[in-house]
Copies of this chain bind each other. A is one copy, B any other.
Amino acid sequence: MEERANAKGTTEDRILLDRDEMPTRYYNILADLPWAFPPPIHPGTKEPLGPEALLPLFSKEVVMQEVSSERFIDIPGPVLEAYHQFGRPTPLQRARRFEQALGTPARIYYKREDVSPTGSHKLNTAVAQAYYAAKEGIEGLVTETGAGQWGSALALACSRFDLDCHVFMVRCSFMQKPYRRNVMELYGADVVPSPSDKTEFGKKLLAQDPDHPGSLGIAISEAVMTVAGGQGKLKYALGSVLNHVLLHQTVIGQEVIKQFEKLDVTPTHMVACIGGGSNLGGFILPMMAKKLKGQVDTKFCAVEPSLVASLCEGSYEYDFGDTAEVTPLIKMHTLGHGFIPPPIHAGGLRYHGAAPIISLLKHHGALDAYAYPQDQTFEAGTLFAKSEGIIPAPESCHAIRHAMELALEAKRAGKAGKNYVICFNLSGHGLLDLNGYGQFKEGTLVKDEARTPVTSPSQNLAVEEAR
């Protein structure tokens, strides 16, 4: 370390961008995909659904973005302003001490989406969705939340644009995670445990069981029903899965490209965890565009919990987005909409399917998927925290675990290992999830079995063919 002990040295361990280098457009991969994008279809007729079918649920702008084939969509000024106040552009940092701890010749970088006030990337789309809703005169947004990252982000975004925010929080999380509820309420959101007495569906479930623990599926149903009963004054907001959500998150990946340009290197591997797919999508899609054009040879790695491995173990088919079958059918890698995810700490990865865009890319071999058991992810997160000082969210620990495996692969590769440039998305911090780390340290984490990492051997072939 001494050799780099220079106040104005040229070490580039923390790559920052100026405000005027912040992306001013969202990037839409649908404009560049060499494969047809399967549209959502009606569960009854099996006919493709047009945008008009989504208008009762979402703001007009969001619906237009969902079906847009424009390559770039301008980010409105007030949204850019909020991004800046909330910490964008975010730093790209070199994990030099993590590299040293692993004894790897690889370079490891991480994109810091943990620096937003709500502690994750979720604010990128929350701000956009709230702005569009406010601009269209909508009075409030309704959503569901499990662990609370998404609910916190939407609550802050609604506060920013003077919208009401109604959050249905899965009842067992509402009870177990009072801190997340406190955050949402601090931002002025109305948070109710689901099932609730706010909807007929919720009342029915509570009548059957006053202590009903709830589920994300039930909470989605209650949120959608609340919008339906809101006489057009309320709209629904979703924090992942859909095209427009991934679109908004592309500010991350665009910044990453600019930051690597400053370093004059190209990452050989980009790694992110995947639940619904918004942090992975936002992180990799701008670089994926370059890959599809043959400009880079970066490998893209999606990392799942072995207990909820929709990309590694699910099938690619039309399925409902929710448990209660209130959404259209969307084509995705899915474990089945009846799948009940086990209560792992990475609450944000507990979803039965993966975003249609990500699923399509996986289907055509443009990205690889890997799955790790919970304890291995906390092991990696603990080493990272001790090395770099930042405590990662349990979700992000999945990305870190795979980055670590790649770094160890580089170590085994000898001289060639020096060529590895691994970048992962640190999607959030773990300051509100510290009990998971405590359980890991005490050895009381629920055990799950390690799965063999699944790769797509056709990867490069498929991309070659598509060109």
Contacts and interface: CB of A to CB of B under 8 A. Distances in A.
Given A7-B22, A20-B8, A386-B188, A178 B391 contact: no
Interface in A125-151: none
A86 interface: yes
Interface stretch (A234-242, A325-333, A430-438, A454-462): A430-438
Contacts of A84: 13-14
Which of A7, A93, A391 is most buried by chain B, counting CB atoms within 10 A of its CB? A7
A207 interface: no
Interface string A436-467: 01100100000000000000000000000000
Nearest to A153: B389
B11 A81 contact: yes
A69 interface: no
Contacts of A7: 20, 22, 24, 75, 77, 80
A385 interface: yes
Contact of A435 (B76, B119, B178, B188): B178
Contacts of A115: 115
A52 interface: no
Interface stretch (A179-187, A289-297, A336-344, A398-406): A179-187
A179 B434 contact: yes
A265 interface: no
Nearest to A76: B5
Contacts of A6: 77
A434 B14 contact: no
Contact of A186 (B4, B24, B179, B382): B382
B81 A4 contact: yes
Nearest to A80: B7
A310 to B, nearest CB: 30
Interface string A56-78: 00000000000000000001111
Interface string A2-33: 10111111010110101110101000000000
Size band of the interface chain A makes with B: 35 or more
Contact of A391 (B1, B81, B186): B186
A271 interface: no
A36 B218 CA distance: 70
A54 interface: no
A132 to B, nearest CB: 14
B431 A4 contact: no
B5 A156 contact: no
Contacts of A179: 431, 434-435
A103 interface: no
Contact of A86 (B8, B76, B389): B389
Given A24-B7, A77-B7, A81-B1, A389 B117 contact: yes
Contacts of A183: 391, 431, 434
Given A13-B81, A115-B115, A182-B441, 11 more contacts: A1-B78, A5-B77, A8-B24, A159-B386, A178-B438, A179-B435, A182-B434, A182-B435, A183-B391, A186-B385, A187-B386
17 contacts: A2-B77, A4-B77, A7-B20, A7-B24, A14-B84, A16-B16, A85-B93, A85-B388, A97-B160, A117-B390, A119-B431, A159-B386, A159-B387, A182-B434, A182-B438, A182-B441, A187-B389
